Amino acid sequence: MTAKPTPPADYNPGPPPASNLVWGIVSAIVCCLPFGVISIFQAVKVEKLWAQGDQEAAHAAARDARRWAIVAAVAGLVVWAAAIVAAVLLLGTLTDDAASH
């Protein structure tokens, strides 16, 4: 197994890609916890990989963080929509039962 070469001391590739950490945190809190946590995990890896000189992996981690934040947002919307539909149906059932008595 070969070790990845370390970058030279004067290596400066510029700023790292956007890690999407904020979107991961928001999606974990508001939308869907499991997918949001995956997004946060990927976002945290971005700067570490960038500092190690692995630009390709840093960009991949940033893309994965964004992708999982989107998945969490969509899953959260589906769960919230299902909860609203269930609440409306339950409320309708309760009001029908109360009106028939």
From first to last of its 101 residues, the chain has per-residue pLDDT tens of 566 666 666 666 678 899 999 999 998 888 778 899 999 999 999 999 998 889 999 999 999 999 999 999 999 999 999 999 999 999 888 887 666 66
The pLDDT assigned to 8 comes to 61
The pLDDT assigned to 10 comes to 65
pTM, whole model, 2 decimals?
0.74
Q: What is the CA radius of gyration of the chain?
A: 22
Q: Would you report the helix, strand and coil content of the chain in percent, each value rounded to 5?
A: 75, 0, 25
d(CA 39, CA 22): 10
